[in-house]
């Protein structure tokens, strides 16, 4: 019995070319619909006509078109690509003098032995000498999408260089020269040339306290009870006892600091020493200690690194904005040691100051409002009390405004600290972290209960996690 379903004749139809353009107009794909029946495959001319009809004018690969058509490819072939704009190079600053805290350090051999005959001398420049050069950012190169629309270039980022004392720009602000003799340095983010004062011996009763408006080099020790302060870098080749040292730039102590909880060290640049014990140290940059930090109050806006020698942090409070790295943290005796990382210490201090000011203002407002309530109930109030009442009302309004401003600032800082996408810093332990160590990242704190070895502590998913050392 014949099949009731009849097969309709196939209609002859030529193949055709279609162009598909990516959403960003950076790629065009040739799609070939095959012919039906006795129809013909499309020709190269037909493919090019489809390309023109779609407005594709840039980055056409004619070889890819010919190959797709000749091979009767139906899978789609990329036949045009746009050109992304080229990002320009960022500006660079080339300094023709050594920067950083180690630039006057003694030279050590492979065993760590110091050759004191090779102590680097201070760097001197003369007036007119070029001390830095700025390589300007480039504009980049424009690009184009496959439809021929120009894509604007992305310029490189500029780098701002601030000038301090005894320096100036020349050659259209591309070179910095010294306008006076002295030592080139970077102080408070500014390039400067500062005079140098070199003390051949110790800071003691013979020298008295030392306060200098340039860079300071002390070849000996700083004895107990004395103060050393300089506007620029301070380099001390000996040890520091229970003394105060303040540097406007970098601070390098070739020996160590034994502060007996009475010494205070501070600098705006990097700080480095062999060891520090029972001392308060504040750096607005990074701190590098060769051997140990013992029972100190240490703060750095950037990193605190203790990885040479014993590489030990034990006792006290160590705070860093970005990273704390050591070989050993704490002790087998369970010595309480606090590590705080992920928030700049000065930000935490700002929060504390705001909270203290807020409490003081709230207390003052409560007292003012109580006094206002009492005075408001007095019948036939005298003129002097009426004036007092008016002043109290003005004070209450002012205090309310101040409280609102403080609360807003406090909320903004807390929102930044608690931002879930914000990097909370890292603690790296190359050997062992002992029980008794308290770790804080942002507003999260944990107490270490068991020994941790060769690990990194990071903030992730709302908690402090222990991960492999890296």
Q: 62-70 vs 44-53: helix axis angle to the nearest 10?
A: 130
The pLDDT of residue 410: 84
The pLDDT of residue 298: 97
The pLDDT of residue 106: 44
State how beta strands 437-441 and 323-329 pair.
unpaired
Q: Which residues of the chain fall below pLDDT 70?
A: 1-10, 100-122, 416-424
At the top level of CATH, the class of 289-342+423-470 is mainly beta
Q: Tell me the percentage of the chain whose pLDDT exceeds 90.
A: 66
The pLDDT of residue 170: 94
The pLDDT of residue 239: 97
The pLDDT of residue 431: 94
Pairwise CA distance, residues 154 & 327, whole Å: 44
What is this structure's pTM? 0.62
Domain coordinates of the chain in residue numbers? 16-81, 289-342+423-470, 347-409
Measure Cα distances from 116 to 103, 108, 127, 239, 423 in Å: 15, 9, 31, 15, 42
Q: Count of CB atoms within 10 A of residue 331's CB?
A: 19
The torsion angles phi and psi of 425, rounded to 5 degrees, stand at 90, -175
Distance of CA 165 to the CA centre of its chain: 26
Running DSSP on this structure, what letter comes out for residue 55? T
Q: 345-376 vs 383-417: helix axis angle to the nearest 10?
A: 150
């Amino acid at each position: 019995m014949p099949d009731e379903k009849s097969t309709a004749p196939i209609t002859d139809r030529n193949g055709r070319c279609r162009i598909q353009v990516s959403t960003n107009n950076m790629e065009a794909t040739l799609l070939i619909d095959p012919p039906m029946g006795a129809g013909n495959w499309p020709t190269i001319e037909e493919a090019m006509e489809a390309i023109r009809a779609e407005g594709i004018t840039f980055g056409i690969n004619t070889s890819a078109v010919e190959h797709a058509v000749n091979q009767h490819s139906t899978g789609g072939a990329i036949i045009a690509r746009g050109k992304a704009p080229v990002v320009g190079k960022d500006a660079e600053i080339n300094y023709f003098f050594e920067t950083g805290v180690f630039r006057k350090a003694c030279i050590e051999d492979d065993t760590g032995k110091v050759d004191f005959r090779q102590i680097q001398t201070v760097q001197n420049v003369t007036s007119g000498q070029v001390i830095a050069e700025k390589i300007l950012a480039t504009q980049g190169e424009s690009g184009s999408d496959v439809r021929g629309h120009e894509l604007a270039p992305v310029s490189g980022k500029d780098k701002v260089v601030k000038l301090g004392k005894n320096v100036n720009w020349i050659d259209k602000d591309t070179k910095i020269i010294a306008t006076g003799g002295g030592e080139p340095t970077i102080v408070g983010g500014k390039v400067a040339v500062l005079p140098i004062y070199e003390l051949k011996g110790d800071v003691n009763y013979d020298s008295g306290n030392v306060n200098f408006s340039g860079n300071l080099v002390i070849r000996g020790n700083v004895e107990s009870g004395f103060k050393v302060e300089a506007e620029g870098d301070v380099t001390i080749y000996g040890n520091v006892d229970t003394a105060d040292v303040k540097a406007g730039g970098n601070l390098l102590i070739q020996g160590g600091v034994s502060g007996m909880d009475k010494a205070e060290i501070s600098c705006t640049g990097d700080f480095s020493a062999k060891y520090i014990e029972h001392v308060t140290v504040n750096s607005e940059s990074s701190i590098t200690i060769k051997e140990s930090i013992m029972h100190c109050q240490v703060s750095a806006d950037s990193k605190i690194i203790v990885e040479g020698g014993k590489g030990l942090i034990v006792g006290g409070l160590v705070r860093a904005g970005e990273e704390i790295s050591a070989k050993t943290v704490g002790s087998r005796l369970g010595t309480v040691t606090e590590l705080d990382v992920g928030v700049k210490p000065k930000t935490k201090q700002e929060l504390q100051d705001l909270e203290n000011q807020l409490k003081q203002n709230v207390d003052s407002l409560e007292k003012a409002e109580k006094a206002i309530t009492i005075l408001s109930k007095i019948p036939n109030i005298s003129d002097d009390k009426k004036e007092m009442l008016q002043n109290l009302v003005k004070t209450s309004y002012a205090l309310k405004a101040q409280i609102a401003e403080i609360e807003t600032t406090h909320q903004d800082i807390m929102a930044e600290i608690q931002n879930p996408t914000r990097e909370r810093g890292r603690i790296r332990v190359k050997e062992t972290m002992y029980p008794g160590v308290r770790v804080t990242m942002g507003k999260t704190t944990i107490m270490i209960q068991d020994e941790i070895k060769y690990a990194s502590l990071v903030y992730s998913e709302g908690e402090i996690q222990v991960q492999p050392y890296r």
